[in-house]
Structures are given as C-alpha cells and as structure tokens.
C-alpha cells in the first residue's frame, strides 16, 4: 500500500450528451500529499470528483482510490474516502454537535458524543457546538462540514472548492485545517479556482483545461514554465488582502504585510524601473 498512489487516474473520459467534458484525464496523487486540481468554471472539476467518489460513472478510462477500482469496487472506495462537496451538507436545524453525532451514529462508531466533542475542539467550534448550524457564519459552517467529513478517519478526502464564498480569515482557517490533515497522513484532493489557494496548500498542482490535464507539477516546476523573473525596482504596495487582514486582525501570518510596508520607501506615486 505504501508505494501505491492514493489516487490514480488514467484516461478518464466523460460526456454529457454532446458535451465532452473530460477527454482523457491522467494523474497520480502520492499518499499523504495535497493535490490541487485547478480549472475555470465548467472545466469538469466537480465531474471528476464525482467519478472518483463513485457518484458518477466514467465513459472510459480507469481510476483507483486507496487501491480500489472506482467502477469495480465502489463500496471499498466509499469506505476509504470522504467528500466535502461544493455546497455545504450541514443540517441547519441541528446544532453543530448534533450534526457530528448524527454522522458518527450513521457510521456505527462507538462513543459518538466523544467523537463530536473532539472534532468541535479541533475545529475551534466548542463554544458554538450547542448552537443551531443556521446561526453559524459561512466559515464556521464550512469548518463543521469538513469536521463531519472526517468522522471515521478516512485516509483520502476530496474537497470540492472548500473556500469558495469565504472571507480571507475563514479561508486561512480552512487552509490550516487542510494542512493539518495532510501532516497527519491524510491524502487530500482539492479543487479550486483560486490560484493562491493552490500556491498555499498544494504539494502538486494540475491544471484541467478543455478536458485534459495540460500541466501537472509542483509550484516551482509550474513557475519555471515562464521566463525567469526580471529584477525591477518597483514600489511594492501591500495587496488588498494583506491590508484587510492587517486591519481586522489576521489569525495567520501577518509578517508579510509588515515587511511590505517598511519596504515601500519610495514616495507614493513615484514608480521607478
């Protein structure tokens, strides 16, 4: 199992009537790594995730997940994965804790209450645990959604656009969660339209475009595809995201914003090259 890929995708094709969405997709995900699938709206990211999670059948090609064939051994695949969909699967009427207990019971696990409390603590939701999920912010709901998908400790998780619609702080919280999962040995396949998300998180990045993977590599490898960086002297303004996070109190890394401000020693408006 150790030398095998967590996920292996070979020649996967899928059409919806005349729309040929996936035209032969190939890639491998190393166990314990974070693999980001990048693509524009409609590129076929969700379609691929649905095939890998056995919700949809491919027209051609093959894929294994945790060593199991998605077409031939769907029950084994389902035992090995969790899927956090593009839209949160939280039950709004229940409290956060009740949502977690429900899933633990559905998975026939012992001590569902203890499992729920442990996950609430890990996702900084202990205080909110007894409130209805309908009162949660988007970021809290997303964290609860991911927490629910971790019940039963699946070795492989699929996250379909985990941070779409979240504010920058909530995105950073989700990123920290995902990094922690991979550090614990979980293999993560995430889809995103956010290039910075892939930069922050992914060990490898694949770009899905017009039905195939047009590039697949580490961030460093992808950056080498463009001409080497030129040395230019330009006043560096902090990005709006850095300003926002500095003003509202970032939970993550604020050093970058500070460095940028001290570096901007050229009078405003005078750009030198």
In the complex, the residues that contact ligand ATP under the rule CB under 6 A are: 16, 19, 21, 39, 41-47, 86, 193
Q: Contacts with Mg ion in 79-138 (CB under 5 A)?
A: 86
- State the residue number with the nearest CB to Mg ion: 46
3-state secondary structure 119-150: HHHHCCCCCCCCCEHHHCCHHHHHHHHHHHHC
Q: Say whether residue 47 binds Mg ion (CB under 5 A).
A: no
Of 38, 44, 46, 192, the one binding Mg ion (CB under 5 A) is: 46
- Give least dist CB 46 to Mg ion, A: 3
22 binds, among ligand ATP, Mg ion, none (CB under 5 to 8 A by kind): none
- Give least dist CB 191 to ligand ATP, A: 7
Contact 166, 139 (CB under 8 A): yes
Contact 203, 30 (CB under 8 A): yes
Q: Compute the C-alpha angle 237/239/242, nearest 5°.
A: 115
- Give least dist CB 189 to ligand ATP, A: 13
SS3 20: strand
What is the spatial distance between Cα 15 and Cα 89, in angstroms, rounded to a whole number?
Answer: 26
Q: Which is nearer to Mg ion, 85 or 112 (CB)?
A: 85
**Residues in binding contact with Mg ion, number by CB under 5 A:** 3
44 binds, among Mg ion, ligand ATP, none (CB under 5 to 8 A by kind): ligand ATP
30's CB contacts (< 8 A; 6+ apart) are 5, 6, 187, 203, 204
39 binds, among Mg ion, ligand ATP, none (CB under 5 to 8 A by kind): ligand ATP
- Give least dist CB 87 to Mg ion, A: 10
Write out the two tokens for 174. Answer: 């989700």
245's CB contacts (< 8 A; 6+ apart) are 168, 169, 172, 252, 254, 257
Q: Which is nearer to ligand ATP, 15 or 30 (CB)?
A: 15
Binding interface with Mg ion (CB under 5 A): 45-46, 86
């Amino acid at each position: 199992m150790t030398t095998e890929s967590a996920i292996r995708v070979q020649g996967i094709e899928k059409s919806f009537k005349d729309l040929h969405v996936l035209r032969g997709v190939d890639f491998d995900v190393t166990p314990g790594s974070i693999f980001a699938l990048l693509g524009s709206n409609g590129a076929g990211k969700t379609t691929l995730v649905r095939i890998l999670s056995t919700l949809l059948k491919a027209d051609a090609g093959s894929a294994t997940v945790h060593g199991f064939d998605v077409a031939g051994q769907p029950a084994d695949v389902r035992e090995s994965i969790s899927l956090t969909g593009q839209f949160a699967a939280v039950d709004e009427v229940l409290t956060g804790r009740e949502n977690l207990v429900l899933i633990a019971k559905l998975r026939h696990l012992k001590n569902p209450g203890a499992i729920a409390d442990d996950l609430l603590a890990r996702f900084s939701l202990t205080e909110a645990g007894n409130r209805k999920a309908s009162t949660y912010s988007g970021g809290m709901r997303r964290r609860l959604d991911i927490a629910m998908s971790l019940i039963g400790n699946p070795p492989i998780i699929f996250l379909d656009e985990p941070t779409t619609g979240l504010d920058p702080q909530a995105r950073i919280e989700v990123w920290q969660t995902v990094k922690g999962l991979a550090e614990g040995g979980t293999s993560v396949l995430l889809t995103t339209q956010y290039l910075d998300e892939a930069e922050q998180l992914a060990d490898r990045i694949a770009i899905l475009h017009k039905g195939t993977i047009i590039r697949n590599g580490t961030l460093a490898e992808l950056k080498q595809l463009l001409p080497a960086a030129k040395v230019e002297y330009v006043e560096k303004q902090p990005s709006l995201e850095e300003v926002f996070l500095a003003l509202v109190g970032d939970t993550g890394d604020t050093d970058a914003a500070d460095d940028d401000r001290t570096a901007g020693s050229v009078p405003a408006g005078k750009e030198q090259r």
